[in-house]
Amino acid sequence: MRGFIVALVLIAIGIALAAAAGGREVLTAVGTAVAGLGAVVGVAAAFWVIGRSEDREREAREREGR
C-alpha cells in the first residue's frame, strides 16, 4: 500500500511542477520526469503486490500438500 501512496504523491508533485512551470522548459521537464517516476513506482508496486499474493498462495498449497 505504501508504494501506491508514494506513487500518487510523486505524480501529484510532478503535475504541480509542470503546471507551475509557466512556460519554463526545464521545470516542465522536471515535472514530467517526477510524474513519470511516480508512474513507474505505481506499476512496480502493483507487480510486487501480485507477486506477493502468488507467493502466499504457493506457500498455502505447499502446506496443504504436506
- Model confidence band, residue 10 (pLDDT cutoffs 50, 70, 90): very high
Q: Are 32 and 42 in contact (CB under 8 A)?
A: no
- Number of CB atoms found within 10 A of residue 31's CB: 20
Parse the chain into domains and list their residue ranges. 2-65
Pick from 26-35, 40-49, 57-66: least confident: 57-66
Average pLDDT over residues 4-9: 96
Q: Are 34 and 10 in contact (CB under 8 A)?
A: yes
